[in-house]
Amino acid sequence: MNLSYLFWLVVFLIFSGWLLSAVAFYKLKERWHALGERLLFSGLAAQLLYIVAAYIELDLTPFKNLAGLFLFGSLLVLLLYFLLDFFFANPIFEVIFPPLTLFFMLLSMLLTSQWIQAETFLEEIPVFGHFILSIHAGLTMLGYLLFGVASMTSIYFLVAERQIKAKTIHLIDSKGPSLGFLDRLNHGVIATGFVFITVGLLVGITMKVLTHAAPPELNLRQGLPLLTWLVYAGFLLDRSIQGLSLKTAALWAIGGFFVVMASFAYEIHLLVNR
């Protein structure tokens, strides 16, 4: 199987589907929207085939090099797209997720030679090592992706709110989701992401115990994920106790994602520079 041709076929299908869906979202072209959905579905199916083939033929596993890790991320984006579209059916997801999927896939193409280090844990626990590491990485990345979705919807919320207040757009004419929908989506994805990252961190601690590693140190690698957890724990606690204004919740989600990006970037830096 020629993986290069398959890769660019995936890129073409997803990009074309996203372009048609984005135009249909703002121009309300139902035929374009239907065609865009079909192209996206075909692209996502081809993406899944490419990922499986790349893992088998090129050994692009998530814990050997960055290409495998980002392919793993693109698969999580695919799963997240279907999950959110099932619970919060709205065309906005077809505008948000395809570019993110393409971003991860293109990064995987650029970073095929960049190896990462995860051998210590896998050597210590050879039977369950890959499974536990997959659970830890998968849940943590899903949590980070959900926080990213909350950040993007919050930016959209702030732009739409400003347009409504400036009377440059009217609610009756708005083509996008309502402010109430965006706020509910924001709260729902943050709550779900918080559960994922909590379990992911607990699995990470379990990994330390199983390898008889030293007790956790107070350093940046442990501190940034913990700070991420505290930021979103504070968001959910404050919202449940006294409530947050819609604008404050949006700003909190955007600010929290800067911590998420710092934590993810620092982890990648450590993985490739051990």
Q: What single string gives the DSSP state of each residue in 25-71?
A: HHH--HHHHHHHHHHHHHHHHHHHHHHHHHHHHS---TTTBHHHHHH
pLDDT tens digits for 213-234?
Answer: 555 556 676 778 888 888 888 8
Which helix (H) or strand (E) element contains residue 117?
A: none
Q: How confident is the model at residue 188 (pLDDT cuts 50, 70, 90)?
A: confident
Cα-based distances in Å from 4 to 7, 8, 14, 52, 123: 5, 6, 16, 14, 33
Cα distance between residue 103 and residue 72, in whole Å:
12
pLDDT tens digits for 76-124?
Answer: 887 788 777 777 777 677 777 888 888 888 877 776 655 555 555 555 5
Q: How confident is the model at residue 141 (pLDDT cuts 50, 70, 90)?
A: confident
What is the pTM (predicted TM-score) of this model? 0.74
DSSP code, position 22:
H
- In terms of phi and psi (left: phi > 0; alpha: psi -120 to 50; beta: otherwise), the region of 243 is left
